[in-house]
C-alpha cells in the first residue's frame, strides 16, 4: 500500500514537472502581452478550490521561482567569468540562487504592500496573498529581462554594454508601465499619483536588493 502511494506521488510529481514545460512559456507570453489581465487572473484564481486554482497557467510564486532558476541556468551555461568578481559567498551556486530568490521577491512584496495600503485593508497574511500573487506574475518577466541585461552587459565590449542597458531600460519601462496601468485602471488611482507611487516603490525595491546584498556580505561565511 505504501509502495502504491509512493508510485502515485511520483506519478503526480512527474506530471507536474512535465506540464511546467508547456505552461511556463504560455504563462510568460500571457504576462508580457497582457500584464494587467494576468494580475486580475492571479487574484481571481485564489477564490477557486484546490486543484482548480491556476488550471491553465502556472501559479505565480512557482512561475517566479522557475524564472529565477532559468536565469541562473542561463548564466551557468554562458560560463560568465565576471561571477568571480562577486562577493565570496555568492560564488557558490546555491548561495547565489538563494540570494536571487530572496532579493527579487522583494519587488512583488513591496508592490503588494503598496497595493494593500492603497486599499486600506488590514495587513494580514491572508489579505496580502492576492496582491503578492498578482505582483509575482509581472515581476517574473522584469526579473528575467534584468538578468539577461546583466549577462549581456558582462560580455565586455561596448556594443554589449549598450545592448544590456537597452534591455534593462525596456524591461523596467514595461514593468513600471504595467504597475501604473494596474493602479490607474484597477485600483482607480490618479495617473500622476500612480506614477509617483510606482517609481518610488520600484526604487525602494532596488535599494532593498542592495541592502540584502550588503547585509549578507557582512554576515558570516557561505551557507554550507
Which residues neighbour 174 within 8 Å (Cβ) at sequence distance 6 or greater? 32, 35, 141, 142, 145
Q: Is residue 24 part of a domain?
A: yes
Tens digit of each residue's pLDDT (9 = 90 or more) over 175-186: 999 999 999 999
Span of 64-68, 101-105, 177-181 with lowest mean pLDDT: 101-105
Q: Is residue 118 part of a domain?
A: yes
At 47 the three-state DSSP class reads: coil
State yes or no: pLDDT of 224 exceeds 50: no
State yes or no: pLDDT of 137 exceeds 60: yes
Q: Is residue 124 part of a domain?
A: yes
Separation of alpha carbons 159 and 155, rounded Å: 9
b/e map of 118-153 (b: 16 or more CB within 10 Å)?
beeeeeeeeebbbbbbbbbbbbbbbbbbbbbbbbbb
Nearest residue to 178 via CA among 62, 24, 33, 25: 33
Q: Is residue 224 part of a domain?
A: no
* Stated pTM of the model: 0.86
- Check: CB of residue 67 under 8 Å from CB of residue 107: no
Q: What pLDDT shows up at residue 1?
A: 60
Q: Which residue has the cell 540584502?
A: 212
Q: Is residue 152 part of a domain?
A: yes
Q: Is residue 163 part of a domain?
A: yes
Domain, as residue range, for 185: 2-218
Mean pLDDT of 102-130: 92
Domain count, the chain: 1
- Check: CB of residue 39 under 8 Å from CB of residue 134: yes
Separation of alpha carbons 197 and 190, rounded Å: 10
Separation of alpha carbons 222 and 217, rounded Å: 9
At 224 the three-state DSSP class reads: coil
State yes or no: pLDDT of 122 exceeds 80: yes
Separation of alpha carbons 181 and 191, rounded Å: 9
Nearest residue to 165 via CA among 185, 149, 189, 147: 149
Q: Is residue 223 part of a domain?
A: no
Separation of alpha carbons 90 and 100, rounded Å: 10
Q: Is residue 192 part of a domain?
A: yes
Amino acid at each position: 500500500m505504501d509502495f502504491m502511494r509512493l508510485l502515485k506521488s511520483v506519478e503526480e510529481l512527474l506530471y507536474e514537472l512535465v506540464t511546467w514545460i508547456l505552461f511556463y512559456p504560455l504563462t510568460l507570453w500571457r504576462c508580457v502581452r497582457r500584464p494587467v489581465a494576468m494580475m486580475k487572473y492571479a487574484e481571481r484564481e485564489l477564490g477557486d478550490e484546490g486543484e482548480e486554482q491556476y488550471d491553465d497557467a502556472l501559479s505565480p510564486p512557482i512561475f517566479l521561482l522557475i524564472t529565477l532558476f532559468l536565469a541562473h541556468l542561463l548564466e551557468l551555461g554562458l560560463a560568465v567569468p565576471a561571477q568571480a568578481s562577486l562577493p565570496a559567498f555568492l560564488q557558490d551556486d546555491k548561495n547565489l540562487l538563494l540570494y536571487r530568490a530572496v532579493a527579487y521577491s522583494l519587488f512583488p512584496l513591496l508592490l503588494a504592500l503598496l497595493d494593500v495600503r492603497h486599499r486600506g485593508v488590514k495587513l494580514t497574511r491572508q489579505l496580502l496573498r492576492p496582491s503578492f500573487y498578482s505582483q509575482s506574475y509581472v515581476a517574473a518577466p522584469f526579473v528575467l529581462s534584468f538578468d539577461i541585461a546583466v549577462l549581456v552587459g558582462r560580455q565586455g565590449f561596448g556594443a554589449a554594454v549598450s545592448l544590456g542597458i537597452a534591455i534593462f531600460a525596456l524591461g523596467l519601462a514595461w514593468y513600471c508601465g504595467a504597475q501604473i496601468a494596474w493602479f490607474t485602471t484597477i485600483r482607480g488611482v490618479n495617473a500622476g499619483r500612480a506614477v509617483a507611487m510606482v517609481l518610488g516603490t520600484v526604487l525602494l525595491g532596488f535599494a532593498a536588493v542592495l541592502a540584502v546584498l550588503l547585509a549578507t556580505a557582512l554576515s558570516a561565511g557561505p551557507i554550507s
